[in-house]
Amino acid sequence: MTIYDRFGVRSRINAAGLLTRLGGSLMPAEVLDAMRQAAASFVDLAELQAAASTVIARHTGAEAGLVTSGAAAGLTLGAAACLAGLDTGRMDRLPETDDLPNEIVMCRTHRTSYDHAIRAAGARIREVGFNDRATGAGVRDVEVWELEAAITPRVVAVAYMATPESQPPLAEVTAMAHRHRLPVLVDAAAQLPPAENLRRFIADGADLAVFSGGKAIRGPQGTGILCGRRDLVASAALQQLDMDVRPETWRPPDLYRRQETLRGIPHHGIGRGFKVGKEEIVGLLVALERFATLDHAAEQARQEALLLAIRNRLADSPHIRARLLPAAETGRDPLLELRVDETALGLSAFALSLGLQQGEPPVHLGERNAAQGVLIVNPVGLREGDAETIATRLRSALHGKHPGGTRTA
């Protein structure tokens, strides 16, 4: 009996990718072991976060770093750092910013529902440009001059959503922003692998970048990384840490001290609700070190072999065409694309997917292109034996049985 059985919750096979709503990723044994050890002692959280900063700096090339309660929390803290800097009075006022410079400039094509996290700090997003390419009515994405034209004294930062296709190029945006002494905050939550991306956005001039700790890094699900400029990371940390301290005995790490710039000790800040435990900080650090030294090519070769095994078991299925997209083609993880002949099968890709999710054990495939009749097998979350189960369940779904399979299987 598993711990999930004990609480009446079903374990699921995840071939949909590393999704927060399915539990993020699975922590390697060495991460779990580190968390168990971390749970056995009291520590000063500020000292632990300052040590985390050194590790994050080493792996990202940034000046400093902070473990956050997820990349979204990192966006809120990063925005809070851009709004308040090391001004203790402003820290205490957030998220009320009406009479402060409070705008963050963003390309319309970079907006996602995650930028709620930026607004939560008190920032107003000043949206720039059109979405011509998505509407099909135009050919050009937002250009740097448009971002520059939006800069006024009310602007405190530029936010940038990183994807392999993001335009304008980050290096051009940061060069422009730095001419105006404005920081650039990059959402790189899901841009790993490739592992080189740990350094890429900072190298392109980002002043702050966020990564999810609970996706490809395989740290604790509720963690993330905020890395970047030392003063901004210090601001974020001071707005996140428990600040019930006595001035007589407060001895913060040098990274957060900066007495010369702090007019006083801030109270609990906007990030106080984004608590990160000592076990999670340690788990994230061990996971980050593992991720940074992992042989990703070997891992992708292993994943491709799993996908090929599934494809071979579906080769005689008349209603599905399975095609391997190797890592070399996707630029990150390999994928198996399943093109469903919905008419011949008498089921839509969505119905097939729902049936798999409702069977035993529940199986989740990627649904991003399901409206076009395509389901995706993403190997990153597969455990030993999962590939065989997926192939078996798909075969029974395609050969006339209910896609849920048999409950006793």
Ligand X SMILES: *Cc1c(COP(=O)(O)O)cnc(C)c1O
User: In this structure, how many other beta carbons lie within 10 angstroms of the beta carbon of residue 172?
Assistant: 15
**224 dihedral zone (left: phi>0; alpha: psi -120 to 50; beta):** beta
Question: In this complex, which beta carbon is closest to ligand X, that of residue 210 or of residue 241?
Answer: 210
- Cβ proximity to ligand X, 190 vs 307, nearer residue: 190
* Cβ atoms 389, 361 nearer than 8 A: yes
CB of 99 to ligand X, least distance (A): 30
317 binds ligand X (CB under 6 A): no
| Of residues 114 and 350, the one with the C-beta less far from ligand X | 114
Give the nearest residue (CB) to ligand X: 70
* Number of chain residues interacting with ligand X (CB under 6 A): 11
71 lies in the site for ligand X, by CB under 6 A: yes
Exactly one of 34, 38, 55, 72 binds ligand X (CB under 6 A); that residue is: 72
| Cβ at position 146, least distance to ligand X in Å | 22
Regarding 111 and contact with ligand X (CB under 6 A), the answer is no
DSSP string spanning 222-252? T-EEEEE-HHHHHHHHHHHS-----TTT---
Q: For ligand X, which residue of 70, 122, 129, 334 counts as binding (CB under 6 A)?
A: 70
Identity of the amino acid at 191:
Q
- Residue 366 touches ligand X, criterion: CB under 6 A: no
Q: Which residues pair with 67 in a beta bridge?
A: 225
CA-nearest of 203, 269, 279 to 235 is 269
Burial label, 183 (beta-carbon count in 10 A; 0-12, 13-18, 19+) = buried
Q: Which of 214/266 has CB closer to ligand X? A: 214
Residue 331 buriedness (CB in 10 A; 0-12 / 13-18 / 19+): exposed
Q: Is 74 exposed, middle or buried (0-12, 13-18, 19+ CB in 10 A)?
A: buried
Query: Whose Cβ is closer to ligand X: residue 256's or residue 274's?
Result: 274
Residue window 172-211: x/- pattern of binding to ligand X, with contact defined by CB under 6 A: ---------------x-xx---------------------
Site for ligand X in 215-234 (CB under 6 A): 224
Q: Which of 129, 193, 205, 214 binds ligand X (CB under 6 A)?
A: 214
- Of 362, 337, 340, whose CA–CA distance to 350 is shortest? 340
Judged by CB under 6 A, the chain residues 3 through 42 that form the site for ligand X are: 20
**Binder of ligand X out of 23, 32, 95, 114 (CB under 6 A):** 114
Choose between 70 and 373: whose C-beta lies nearer to ligand X.
Answer: 70
Q: How far is the CB of 17 from ligand X (least distance, A)?
A: 10
Q: Which of 354, 364, 365 is nearest to 322 (CA)?
A: 365
Applying CB under 6 A, the span of 46-54, 68-76, 318-326, 334-342 interacting with ligand X comes to: 68-76
The minimum distance between CB 104 and ligand X, in angstroms, equals 15
Q: Which is nearer to ligand X, 188 or 322 (by Cβ)? A: 188
Beta strands in 250-351 (DSSP E): 320-325, 335-340
Q: In angstroms, rounded to a whole number, what is the distance separating the alpha carbons of residues 262 and 256?
A: 10
Helix pair angle (278-293, 45-60), 10° resolution:
10
DSSP state of 366: B
Among residues 46 and 185, whose Cβ is nearest to ligand X?
Answer: 185
**Shortest Cβ distance from residue 188 to ligand X (Å)?**
8
Give me the residues that bind ligand X (CB under 6 A), please.
20, 70-72, 114, 187, 189-190, 212, 214, 224
